Every structure is written in structure tokens, then in C-alpha cells.
Amino acid sequence: MESAKNMSTDTKNSESPVGDLSEALKESTKDVHEQAENTEFMKNFQKGQVSLEEFKLVMSSLYFIYSALEEEIERNKENPCFAPVYFPTELHRKSSLEKDMLYFYGSKWRSVIHCPEAVKKYVERLHYVGQKEPQLLVAHAYTRYLGDLSGGQVLKKIAQKALQLPSTGEGLAFFTFDAVSSAMKFKQLYRSRMNSLDLDKASKEKVVEEARTAFLLNIKMFEQLQEITSQSQTAKKEETDVRKRVKHIANGQSHGAESNKNMSTVSSSPFLRYVLGFGFLLAVIALGLQAL
Ligand code: HEM
């Protein structure tokens, strides 16, 4: 298959001088990479502070993104502006994400998962690029796949531990690249293939700019996922508070009912009624004598 061909020869080409597309991409996306790492969502994730709800949300969002990305990649697989970086067996994630969706949401997952607004924007951009500016598609493939083969592998371990997912890999298919034996070597191959694309300086700059856009689309996604999960946590807290208040009021009423019951015990006891009545009479007489 084309994608796995000439792996050793290609690896040698990665020693190209600075100014290559791969170098330009790495250099020019450093700041946005740092920004992505430092989003609240990602910072919490790195600390192992990720709930099952948050993880499911990010995985379903990735499902929408990879479906669009890989649809556009398939459309352009023979286009010379993308063909050298076409590695479906090694990289494509849609079918892995389908397995993860089934694991987390069950057999009706397609009708259950929801596409947040920020993810819709990302998906729209991928379709636009794939159909109108295919020479920029490599920027999106680079941003996601090389990221998945780098920091993604750290995130896999964190998620497995935090969510106590099975060591057999269920729920983590997305992070598992069965056809890539060495992530480091594969990334070298990918970089050399990017460098082999026939792009002039201006086109290279456009690809770099598009990669920055891709990072920003990821950042927007993380920001929205953070918002969604914070909102649902606030809603859950409010629900718990309301439940507590209702319980408190109900307890108060039962205390009130208890004291009413005590009062009715008093009023229904003839002896107590007599004692209270007699006391009241004595008080009236005492007041009358005082007034004389
Ligand atoms: C907690 C979040 C993240 C961590 C810990 C992380 C970590 C890393 C690490 C350690 C590398 C390897 C650097 C190297 O080999 O020199 C890397 C590379 C990369 N990461 Fe991330 N990353 C994170 C988030 C992201 C995100 C959100 C994206 C984009 C969606 C991304 C895209 C990339 C790309 C494209 C590369 C390859 C850079 C290159 O060699 O040209 N990363 N990341």
C-alpha cells in the first residue's frame, strides 16, 4: 500500500534543512500548542481530573471531527497536494472512535451523541478546506494526527487511570495505533512526506496559517466543553441544594406536625385542660385583686 511504502528512504529525507514545511509548522504553532495545553479542560485532564461525562463529551466531539476530516481526506487521497500524507491504515481514527462510542454510549450511540457549536464550526472548516482549498488539508491532518501520536499517548494513560478503564483497551481505541509500531519513527516519516509536498513559499505560509487555525478550533472546542461540563456541574449542585432544602422543609413540617400533635394531646386530655383552665382563672383573680 502507498502509505507504508518507502518508510526507510523517507525517514532519511527528514534531515532536510530548516525552512521545511514540517519545521515551519512546529515553530509557528508553538504558542498555540501551549495555549491548547493550558486550556482549563486540558490542564484538569493532565492532573487526572476528568470525569466520565467529560471524557465521553470530548470523545464524541472527536468523532464528529474525525468523520469530517477523514471524509475530506478520502475525497483528496489522489490529489497531489495530499496524496503523500495519505496514511489511512496507520492513522485514521473514525472506526476506532465508533468502537469507543459503542463502549461508552451503547448501541444507540448515534442518536444520543450531540455536536457542540464549537465542534460544528470545526467540522464546517474541514469540509470547506477539503472541498475548496484542498492544499490546506495537510494542516488539519498534521494538527490532529501528530498530536494524537505525541501528547495523545500521555492522555491515554491518564484517562485509563482516572476512569479505571479496562487494561484490555476498551474505551481507548482512539488512542491506540495498532499499525504504528514506533510513533517517533512514524512522525519522522510523516514530516518527510509533508516536506515532499510541492508547495511554493506562499502556499507553505498558508498551510502554516491553517494549522494555527486548526489549533484555535481545538482550543475553542475545549473551552466549550469546559463550559458545558461546568454548567452541568452547577445544575447538579443546584439540584442537590434544592433537594436538601425540600428535605429540610419537609423535616421542619414534620417537627411542626409533631408540636401540633403535642398541642392536640394537651387539648384532648381533660385533666390537662382542667389544670390550664384553673391556672388561667387564678391569674385573672390575682390581676383583679391587684387592681383593687
Ligand atoms: C494536554 C495536552 C497536550 C500535551 C500534554 C501535549 C504534548 C505534546 C508533546 C509532548 C509533543 C511532542 C513534542 C515533540 O515531539 O517535540 C506534542 C506534539 C504535538 N502536539 Fe501536543 N500536546 C497536547 C495537546 C495538543 C493538542 C490539543 C493538539 C492539537 C489539537 C496538539 C498537537 C500536537 C502536534 C501537532 C504535535 C507535533 C509537533 C511537531 O512535531 O511538529 N497537542 N504534544
Segment 128-170, tens digit of pLDDT: 999 999 999 999 999 999 999 999 999 999 999 999 999 899 9
d(CA 276, CA 164): 68
At 62-104, the pLDDT tens digits run 999 999 999 999 999 999 999 999 999 999 999 999 999 999 9
56 contacts 225 by C-beta, under 8 angstroms: no
150 CA → ligand 1 middle, Å: 5
CA neighbor of 225 nearest in space, from 117, 72, 138, 74: 117
Q: Which amino acid is at 86?
A: Y
**Ligand 1 and 33: CB distance under 6 A:** yes
60 contacts 113 by C-beta, under 8 angstroms: yes
Name the residue at shortest CA distance from atom 2 of ligand 1: 37
d(CA 278, CA 113): 75
Q: Residue 283's pLDDT band (boundaries 50, 70, 90)?
A: low
CA neighbor of 116 nearest in space, from 231, 228, 38: 228
Copy the grid coordinates of residue 166. Answer: 479496562
**Ligand 1 and 25: CB distance under 6 A:** yes
pLDDT, residue 191, reads 98
pLDDT at 121 over 60: yes
Question: What dihedral do alpha carbons 51, 171, 175, 135 form, nearest 10°?
Answer: -90
Name the residue at shortest CA distance from atom 12 of ligand 1: 150
d(CA 236, CA 232): 6
d(CA 150, CA 269): 82
Torsion angles phi and psi, residue 17, rounded to 5 = -65, 160
Q: Residue 211's pLDDT band (boundaries 50, 70, 90)?
A: very high
Q: Does domain 2-235 have CATH number 1.20.910.10?
A: yes
In the numeric block, the cell 482516572 is attached to 162
151 CA → ligand 1 middle, Å: 5
263 CA → ligand 1 middle, Å: 73
**Ligand 1 and 147: CB distance under 6 A:** yes
pLDDT, residue 2, reads 36
At 15-50, the pLDDT tens digits run 333 379 999 999 999 999 999 999 999 999 999 999
At 252-269, the pLDDT tens digits run 765 555 444 444 444 444
Residue 241: how many other CB atoms lie within 10 Å = 10
The DSSP string of 237-286 is HHHHHHHHHHHHHHHHHHHHHHHHHHHHHHHH-HHHHHHHHHHHHHHHHH
In the numeric block, the cell 534543512 is attached to 17
85 contacts 138 by C-beta, under 8 angstroms: yes
33 CA → ligand 1 middle, Å: 7
Name the residue at shortest CA distance from atom 43 of ligand 1: 151
Residue extents of the structural domains in the chain: 2-235
